[in-house]
Amino acid sequence: MKKRNIAILTGGNVAERSVSLKSANTIKKYLDDQQYNGYLIELNGKKFVEQATGIPLDLNDFSLNKAGVKTTFDLVFLMLHGHPAEDGSILGYFQLLGIPCTGCDHFVGALTFNKQRTKDFLRPHGIPMVDSRLLRHGQPIDINDIKSMGFPLFVKPNKNGSSYGITKVPDENCITTSTNKAFEFDDEVIIEQFMAGQEFSNGVYRKGNEVVVLPITEIRTENEFFDFKAKYENESEEITPAEISDELTAQCKGLTKKIYELLNCKGICRVDYILIDGVFHFLEINTIPGMTEQSFIPQQVAAMGEDLTEFLNAVINEAFENNPS
């Protein structure tokens, strides 16, 4: 059988670029080379280039012309964090070209990339979550409203990932400095209630018609919170599967499945929680989660006893089934 060509889309012009590049390398490493030819395609500025050669792709049909040979792609594996992939922007382009992509559709991508809008969508469905406020750039801060949530607080970009721009705020004197820092990464900022508790992360994907919830990871860190260094520079302890009771495990996995289905997600997603007084509270969902060697999803796949190549095959098969040629 002829092997299909997979473009693993990576890079980008955002803060999470370095994570995206590492994630794409993991996908390439574990891609089933009996079925697929994997190409690392990097977004640099406004150009897509083959990473190995630097040759730009033809944007008219997203093809690679190399030494007189034209290569077209059967599928795009999205490993581009942030804009324009995780927010759904780029999906319209590939949809027009008729090239399937892994992951959520453009509407779900746009919704879930906006942390506050996702919380607003899920709140009527009884999903527990901490209180928060949305602040737009140039909008005055209502200090009395912010103070009503109590201190400390978290300030973070509304549409960003990998803990860039997040600050733990001890009192009202630090609000302006913290929001200014977050505005370096986005034009909207979330000011979120701090609640002491344990942090957890739970992956989920579709395998055929079944929604499969992965084992849960518990995050333990000596840092003030699960920041970039804790995530990617080994300044945390990550226990997979989490050392919690069967009842708490069922509660967390049930919430993950419910959130995934309510949002009509596809592909690999990861839901982050904080456990407060025996109740898991939703923090955010990532629709293109990190796939570096240190990331949660590969850890959880291994804990489930599944080979990462088989896992990627299921994700790719779902994308082809959702977009039959």
Report pLDDT digits (tens) over 37-51.
Answer: 999 999 998 899 999
Are residues 242 and 188 part of one domain?
no
What's the confidence (pLDDT) of residue 175?
87
- Buried residues in 224-249 as b, exposed as e (16+ CB within 10 A): ebbbbebbbeeebebebebebeeebb
Alpha helices in 70-156 (DSSP H): 91-97, 106-113, 115-122, 143-147
Are residues 230 and 114 part of one domain?
yes
Are residues 55 and 150 part of one domain?
no
Are residues 244 and 213 part of one domain?
yes
Are residues 301 and 214 part of one domain?
yes
Mean pLDDT, to the nearest integer, of 99-105?
Answer: 96
Q: Please give the backbone phi and psi of residue 76, each rounded to the nearest 5 degrees, phi first.
A: -110, 120
CATH at 117:
3.30.470.20
Of 325, 324, 323, the C-alpha closest to 102 is 323
CATH at 17:
3.40.50.20
What's the confidence (pLDDT) of residue 242?
97
User: Of the residues 142, 170, 193, which one is the last residue of a structural domain?
Assistant: 193
Are residues 234 and 115 part of one domain?
yes
Query: For residue 305, is it left (φ>0), alpha (ψ between -120 and 50) or beta?
Result: left
Kindly report the CA angle at 203 between 42 and 268, in degrees rounded to 5?
A: 40
What's the confidence (pLDDT) of residue 231?
47
Query: For residue 208, is it left (φ>0), alpha (ψ between -120 and 50) or beta?
Result: left
Mean pLDDT, to the nearest integer, of 159-165?
Answer: 67
Distance CA 291, CA 115 (A): 21
Mean pLDDT, to the nearest integer, of 21-43?
Answer: 97
Summarised one tens digit per residue, pLDDT across range 275-319 is 999 999 999 999 999 999 889 999 999 999 999 999 999 999 999
Query: For residue 20, is it left (φ>0), alpha (ψ between -120 and 50) or beta?
Result: alpha
What's the confidence (pLDDT) of residue 164?
72
pLDDT at 110 over 60: yes
Q: Which two tokens stand for residue 170?
A: 């001890």
Mean pLDDT, to the nearest integer, of 6-30?
Answer: 93
Q: How much of the chain exceeds pLDDT 90, in percent?
A: 74
Distance CA 169, CA 192 (A): 10
CATH at 167:
3.30.1490.20
For strand 269-276 and strand 279-286, is the pairing parallel, antiparallel, or unpaired? antiparallel
Are residues 225 and 117 part of one domain?
yes
- Average model confidence (pLDDT) across the chain: 91
Q: Which two tokens stand for residue 76?
A: 């795009």
Are residues 89 and 122 part of one domain?
no
What's the confidence (pLDDT) of residue 112?
96
Distance CA 159, CA 112 (A): 9
Are residues 296 and 178 part of one domain?
no
What's the confidence (pLDDT) of residue 15?
76
For strand 36-44 and strand 237-239, is the pairing parallel, antiparallel, or unpaired? unpaired
Number of domains observed in the structure of the chain:
3
What's the confidence (pLDDT) of residue 171?
87
Comparing 122-131, 189-198, 260-269, 309-318, the range with the smallest average pLDDT is 189-198
Are residues 179 and 83 part of one domain?
no
Summarised one tens digit per residue, pLDDT across range 208-247 is 999 999 999 999 876 554 444 444 455 679 999 999 999 9
Are residues 268 and 218 part of one domain?
yes
Of 82, 90, 236, the C-alpha closest to 165 is 82
Are residues 8 and 95 part of one domain?
yes
The range of the structural domain enclosing residue 175 comes to 132-193
What's the confidence (pLDDT) of residue 223?
52
Mean pLDDT, to the nearest integer, of 56-83?
Answer: 96
